[in-house]
Structure 1
Amino acid sequence: MTQTNVTQKEWEERLASIRPSERQLKWQETEFYGFIHFNINTFTGKQWGDGTESPLLFNPTDLDVEQWVVTMKEAGMNGIILTCKHHDGFCLWPSQYTDHTVASSPWKDGEGDLVKDVSDACRKHNLKFGVYLSPWDRHEETYGDSPTYNHFFVNQLKELLTNYGEVFSVWFDGACGEGPNGQKQVYDWDGYYETIRELQPDAAISVCGPDVRWCGNEAGATRKQEWSVVPKSLQDAEKIQEASQQTENHQEFIREVSSAEEDLGSRNVLEKTDTLVWYPAEVNTSIRPSWFYDEKEDEQVKHTEELFDLYVRTVGGNSTFLLNVPPDRRGLFHEKDVSVLKAFGQKLKSAFQTDLTESATQTLTNPYSIAIAFDQPTLLNCVVLQEDITKGQRVERFTIEAKMDGQWETVYTDYVIGYKKIALLDAISTQHIRIKIKASRSVPYLKAIQTYYIE
């Protein structure tokens, strides 16, 4: 795939020919969805359990999955991923392959199935449902006996993928350790993927998987240029313990993207790479400093403006936004989290409710310049652009210009667009704007242009 003995046009056509699968398209269109970290750790105050915790500890007093799902929907989320099993090995469903599950807990007298409850509530409220299943199981005695444990893990995976309806995402991280035998477990990733493709062919396999790429941090940091076309080697980058949910070390948890990781998809990077793939980014972070609930963090919930900034930089930066909200020991989202999420949902709805271009006239001067004329001078401070990514990701640099006092002025300059770019501008009043593509991998294809005034 390297740029060797090919013309510039041929090279650009090759880059533009790399396109998403149907499942990647559906995943990208989900845009904003929720993580729910709720497990035995909620009741021990730990972020990483060690597998010795008694199932008797799991006993939420007022668990209400309707509250979870309704709150996330009101926040504008389109799906939910549940931590069905974290590193401690405790299962939120009554797995037939271990007794370290809700069936051994006092919750609902051992008759409960939280995975079913959440999946049913998601369907009731028209949200997608996804599962997180930790490959690292610190309770399971066969862990470290790689073939035996891999068989055990696939059996649990099959339970989740056959008993709870359609799954839009299967979320893996790469946490790994030694088993009771002192041997480090070797995960059969290909076997896991094969199982998912067979049972849930439309599900995106995320982070430690071939469909969705981790953005590189858990703090909500984003790149200035987020490319979906990247070196294939990145598909194996997160299959290591060191890259996974480092909440035991807070400095690791909040680390920013390093300079070495900043550029993943420019021409300078890709021209040195033989094999390229469509591997889009997901940004995952928590509404609180930690993943599981900790009452000491009740005053550290991200506020509405922080969440809006995250949304603009993630969904509006050619990524998706996966926001974790951890229920407390009651089995409820804390009141502070609920208040912030509802306010954020209202702001999100209000911000993008009225597209000012609906009554405007669009003129395609050429594939590299699109003009928009409003009926009268119009106040705006946001332009949303989308490429038709079924034709690849092509735009490398663009400007937004506005006609002010009879003269065209550049009011915004940026780089990639991809699935979506939310461009926030200083407020302007104008009757004419135009989008000019300054650099592109072959002919650009814009799918949508919208304008807003966000108060």
Structure 2
Amino acid sequence: MRTSNTSMAPKHTFFFSIIALFLSGLQTIIFGSSLVTPTLPPLPILPLPSYSQLKWQQREIIMFFHFGVNTFTDSEWGTGQENPAIFNPTGLNAAQWVDTAIQAGVSLVILTVKHHDGFCLWPSKYTDHSVVGSPWKNGHGDVVKELVDAANSRNVDVGLYLSPWDRHDPRYGADKLYNEYYLAQLQELLKNYGSVQEIWFDGAKGANAKNMTYYFDDWFSMVKELQSSINIFSDAGPGVRWVGNEQGFAGSTCWSTINQTDLSIGNASIVNYLNTGDPRGTNWIPPECDVSIREGWFWHKSESPKNLTHLLHIYYNSVGRNCVLLLNVPPNTTGLISETDVHRLKEFRAALDGIFSTNLAENCSVLASSQRGGKGGSFGPENVVDSDHLWTYWAPRDDNTQHHWIEFRPTSDGGRLRFNVVRIQEAIGLGQRIHRHEIYADGKIIANGTTVGHKKLHRLENGVVEATRVTIKITGSRATPLISSVGLHLDSFWNPHSV
């Protein structure tokens, strides 16, 4: 038997040798020089946006519908004593509202379901000061449902505005009773109309209004319980903050970060802080710029929409300053968006598409001061001209102590870049970082600024520039700057000499 076992040993030896060779080869593949180990992404810098805040930021333009009894009384702030019978939009067509929004490139619409007059656009069981008392649809109408149904069928999201100040309800001024009433209506709206993506808490209140303490913490907690993915808007967030004015302008410096403990709703002393944010802020509460397409918020026969030049000016100073633009477009007494407003919105959308659909930087070679992980990694400067403006980005080396720069040169011999708008975007999913930057054309400075955030648009003060080399220098940043997208665009509507 010993002799038999000895004769089989070479077979075993051969078998184990094959296994050893296989494992050795596998080790070489995994750990050897043939493997390119991916460079790790940089650490984020806190605070960071939530998933719903990121989705909101990428919308860039959303739409407001101010509609109610004020539409029929030619007023902005109702008294609360209006007879519900005056509300009779015989041609109301919420589908036309939503289609108008879609044509303007808008994916979220917000309705004033109750303004300061207290009139409710849905049949609330807690008051008869609503559509129930209206001749519209013999008191069986529901504007909120009509809008929600029209939006859902068109894949447009819905937001709601429920005014805290109520000039009609007799419970207003009695803290406990009115807060119970308000919470009851919040529950009606957030339980019965499906998904709501934004809820608007207005801080406006007349000088002679009754003293009233709003239980905001209770309201916000109830909202989050009923709609977990919702963004809550108010002067103090916590999801989205007011920009501090109703002209649609953010500060030239505009941080998404701010200290929530320094904020309060209805406090006029903090508007400048709201406008700029805070680089040391511990909360991510980005700003929303609300402005109306007309002079007033509600429809008035005597008013016309702002001209295209004005709307573009608003866009550059809102979306182009790290904000979302909330553009109010009020339905008229018939219950439709007026044709003049529809036409202006189409004109506005066509202008934006014409300006930003062509990016001259895409046809350039892109160089950079350094690259995280070296050439061939995932963080090269070529990422700034791809189609992902959030999660692919150029990242310089952490250990590069010099000013970071990225440069664009036309790929064609003798080619020149002709542009008057420079777009810069940060990878805000990893935090907002840049606080100072400069732009050069053939070595000559043509623009400079502070914050970038989701989007910074420089509309060049001296008009069109022609250059063979465009350089963006990051001269100040809270951490290693991460640029997700750069654009060089030509705005044919921009004439700096006419301003």
Determine if the TM-score, normalized by the shorter chain, exceeds 0.5: yes
Q: Pick which of 169-178 and 325-334 moved more.
A: 169-178
Q: Secondary structure at the match of 2:468?
A: strand
**What does residue 4 of structure 1 align with?**
none
Are 1:290 and 2:296 counterparts? yes
Alignment check: 8 A CA contact 2:243 2:274 kept: no
Distance 1:102 1:260, change over 3 A: closer
User: Match of 1:385, as an amino acid?
Assistant: I
Q: Secondary structure at the match of 1:373?
A: strand
Q: Secondary structure at the match of 2:138?
A: helix
Are 1:342 and 2:381 counterparts? no
Question: Whose relative contact order is higher, 1 or 2, with alpha carbons under 8 Å and at least 6 apart?
Answer: 1
User: What aligned pairs does 1:378-389 form with structure 2 within 5 A after superposition?
Assistant: 378-389=417-428
Are 1:220 and 2:248 counterparts? yes
The Cα shift of 1:453 comes to 1.9
User: What aligned pairs does 1:236-275 form with structure 2 within 5 A after superposition?
Assistant: 236=264, 238-240=265-267, 264-265=277-278, 270=280
Distance 1:188 1:74, change over 3 A: same
Alignment check: 8 A CA contact 1:372 1:432 kept: yes
The Cα shift of 1:431 comes to 3.4
The Cα shift of 1:234 comes to 4.2
The Cα shift of 1:141 comes to 2.0
The RMSD of aligned alpha carbons is 2.4
For residue 197 of structure 1, the aligned residue among 224, 232, 245 is 224
Are 1:142 and 2:142 counterparts? no
**What does residue 381 of structure 2 align with?**
none
Distance 1:276 1:260, change over 3 A: closer
Alignment check: 8 A CA contact 1:369 1:437 kept: yes
Unmatched 5+ residue regions in structure 2? 1-41, 371-395, 397-403, 493-499
**What does residue 39 of structure 2 align with?**
none
Are 1:129 and 2:195 counterparts? no
Query: What are the superposed Cα offsets for residues 290-329 of structure 1, whole Å, 9 maximum, x if unpaired?
Result: 111111223xx21111111111111110111011111111
**What does residue 306 of structure 1 align with?**
310
**What does residue 52 of structure 2 align with?**
23
The Cα shift of 1:361 comes to 2.7
**What does residue 186 of structure 1 align with?**
213
**What does residue 422 of structure 1 align with?**
457
Q: Secondary structure at the match of 2:346?
A: helix
For 1:69 and 1:263, the matched residues in 2 are separated by 32
Distance 1:276 1:361, change over 3 A: same
For 1:317 and 1:64, the matched residues in 2 are separated by 34
Alignment check: 8 A CA contact 1:401 1:434 kept: yes
The Cα shift of 1:184 comes to 2.1
Q: Secondary structure at the match of 1:297?
A: coil
Q: Secondary structure at the match of 1:118?
A: helix
The Cα shift of 1:85 comes to 0.5
For residue 210 of structure 1, the aligned residue among 238, 259, 264 is 238
Query: What are the superposed Cα offsets for residues 106-141 of structure 1, whole Å, 9 maximum, x if unpaired?
Result: 111112111111122222222221000011122222
Query: What are the superposed Cα offsets for residues 189-219 of structure 1, whole Å, 9 maximum, x if unpaired?
Result: 0111011111111111112431211111112
The Cα shift of 1:260 comes to 7.8
Distance 1:365 1:68, change over 3 A: same
**What does residue 368 of structure 2 align with?**
364
User: Match of 2:234, as an amino acid?
Assistant: V
Alignment check: 8 A CA contact 1:170 1:203 kept: yes
Alignment check: 8 A CA contact 1:15 1:441 kept: no
Q: Secondary structure at the match of 1:296?
A: coil
The Cα shift of 1:16 comes to 3.6
**What does residue 393 of structure 1 align with?**
432
For 1:259 and 1:31, the matched residues in 2 are separated by 22
For residue 352 of structure 1, the aligned residue among 356, 368, 376 is 356
For 1:286 and 1:358, the matched residues in 2 are separated by 35
Distance 1:221 1:34, change over 3 A: same
Alignment check: 8 A CA contact 2:244 2:275 kept: no
Q: Secondary structure at the match of 1:306?
A: helix
Alignment check: 8 A CA contact 2:250 2:276 kept: no
Distance 1:427 1:293, change over 3 A: same
Alignment check: 8 A CA contact 1:20 1:390 kept: yes
The Cα shift of 1:372 comes to 2.0
Are 1:373 and 2:439 counterparts? no
Q: Secondary structure at the match of 1:82?
A: strand
Q: Secondary structure at the match of 2:159?
A: strand
**Superposition TM-score, scaled by structure 2 size:** 0.78
The Cα shift of 1:61 comes to 2.3
Q: Secondary structure at the match of 2:283?
A: strand
For 1:343 and 1:260, the matched residues in 2 are separated by 34
Are 1:86 and 2:115 counterparts? yes
Q: What is the aligned-residue identity percentage?
A: 40
User: What aligned pairs does 1:307-326 form with structure 2 within 5 A after superposition?
Assistant: 307-326=311-330
Query: What are the superposed Cα offsets for residues 119-168 of structure 1, whole Å, 9 maximum, x if unpaired?
Result: 22222222221000011122222222211211111111111112222111
For 1:227 and 1:264, the matched residues in 2 are separated by 5
**What does residue 254 of structure 1 align with?**
none
User: Match of 1:305, as an amino acid?
Assistant: T
Alignment check: 8 A CA contact 1:211 1:279 kept: yes
Q: Secondary structure at the match of 1:282?
A: strand
For 1:162 and 1:198, the matched residues in 2 are separated by 10
For 1:442 and 1:382, the matched residues in 2 are separated by 26
**Superposition TM-score, scaled by structure 1 size:** 0.85
Which has a greater percent of strand? 1
The Cα shift of 1:429 comes to 2.7
**What does residue 192 of structure 2 align with?**
163
**What does residue 6 of structure 1 align with?**
none
Query: What are the superposed Cα offsets for residues 380-418 of structure 1, whole Å, 9 maximum, x if unpaired?
Result: 222211111122111111112223xxxx22222111101
Query: What are the superposed Cα offsets for residues 259-310 of structure 1, whole Å, 9 maximum, x if unpaired?
Result: 78765425xxx4xxxx732221111111111111111223xx2111111111
For 2:174 and 2:207, the matched residues in 1 are separated by 10
**What does residue 391 of structure 2 align with?**
none
